[in-house]
């Protein structure tokens, strides 16, 4: 793969799948400075991973794998990578707030979901995140390196826990 191909792939992935990276970052870090740090790590690891992508899995699954891998081993406060002026990341905090097109109520629900996901253990948070995105059990299992059965078992517990936390009126239907 040439450098030009790698650059083109990277830019295409950012254009098409930025939402995945932001979801992972917001699920694993609460404070915007931490989100920015983690997102920078995700970007760098994503860049490095491109030569290893053979097309065996979907792009979105690959990006989930890289993002979650980065988030799992990331540690708050370990600013290994020097912080450059990230003018493009100033809006992470803004992204957490409602826009003109999104109702305040929906935005609050989404933020509440993020908050609950952040409280889950890391593996559970990963499963919850991917399941909310409608990713198949098989792909979740592949990303995390666990069995499909285990994904099913975990999800039952995660749904129950989130249901309890999010309140009795908001019931999960299995």
Partner 1 sequence: MSFDEWQARWQAHDHGGQLNIDSDALLEEVLRNQSDFEKRMWRRDFGEVTAAVLVTFIFGTLAVLMDQWSLFLGAAGSLFVGIFMVFDRLKQRWQRTTVADSLPSAINASLVQVQHQIWLLRNILWWYLLPLVPGLVAILVSTSRESQGNGLADQLVIAFVGLICLLAFWGVYWLNQREITRNLEPRRMELEELRASLSSGGIEG
136 interacts with partner 1 by CB under 8 A: no
154 interacts with partner 1 by CB under 8 A: yes
Using the structure block, give the residue that is written with the tokens 């995700």. 42
31 interacts with partner 1 by CB under 8 A: no
CB of 38 to partner 1, least distance (A): 13
What is the rounded end-to-end Cα distance, in angstroms, of the chain? 45
Cβ-based neighbour number of residue 104 at 10 Å: 9
Instruction: Report the sign of the C-alpha dihedral through residues 86, 14, 42, 151, in that order.
Output: positive
In angstroms, the Cα distances linking 33 to 25, 87, 90 are 11, 13, 10
118 interacts with partner 1 by CB under 8 A: no
Q: Please, are residues 60 and 84 in contact by the beta-carbon 8 Å criterion?
A: no
The nearer residue to partner 1, 119 or 149, going by C-beta atoms, is: 149
CB of 99 to partner 1, least distance (A): 6
140 interacts with partner 1 by CB under 8 A: no
**102, 119, 160, 165: residue in contact with partner 1 (rule CB under 8 A):** 102
* Helix H or strand E encompassing 8: helix 3-28
Using the structure block, give the residue that is written with the tokens 């979650």. 68
Provide the 8-state DSSP code for 170.
Answer: S
33 interacts with partner 1 by CB under 8 A: no
Provide the 8-state DSSP code for 103.
Answer: -
Q: How many residues sit in the footprint of partner 1 (CB under 8 A)?
A: 70
**26, 125, 130, 139: residue in contact with partner 1 (rule CB under 8 A):** 26
The nearer residue to partner 1, 2 or 84, going by C-beta atoms, is: 84
DSSP 119-151: HS-HHHHHHHHHHHTT--HHHHHHHHT--HHHH
**2, 55, 99, 168: residue in contact with partner 1 (rule CB under 8 A):** 99
Where along the sequence are the contacts to partner 1 (CB under 8 A)? 7, 10-11, 14-15, 18-23, 26, 40, 43-45, 47-49, 52-53, 65-66, 68-69, 72-73, 75, 80-82, 84, 86-89, 91-92, 94-95, 99, 102, 106, 109-110, 113, 121-123, 132-134, 141-147, 149-151, 154, 159, 169-174
């Amino acid at each position: 793969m040439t450098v030009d191909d790698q650059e083109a792939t990277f830019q295409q992935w950012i254009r098409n799948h930025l939402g995945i990276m932001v979801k992972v970052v917001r699920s694993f870090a609460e404070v915007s400075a931490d989100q920015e740090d983690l997102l920078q790590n995700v970007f760098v690891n994503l860049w490095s991973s491109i030569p290893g992508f053979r097309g065996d899995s979907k792009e979105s699954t690959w990006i989930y794998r890289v993002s979650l891998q980065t988030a799992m081993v990331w540690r708050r406060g370990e600013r290994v990578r020097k912080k450059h002026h990230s003018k493009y990341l100033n809006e992470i905090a803004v992204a957490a707030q409602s826009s003109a097109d999104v109702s305040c109520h929906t935005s609050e629900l989404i933020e509440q979901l993020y908050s609950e996901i952040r409280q889950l253990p890391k593996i559970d948070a990963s499963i919850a995140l991917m399941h909310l995105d409608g990713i198949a059990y098989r792909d979740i299992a592949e990303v995390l390196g666990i069995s499909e059965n285990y994904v099913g078992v975990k999800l039952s517990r995660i749904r129950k826990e989130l249901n309890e936390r999010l309140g009795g009126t908001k019931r999960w239907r299995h």
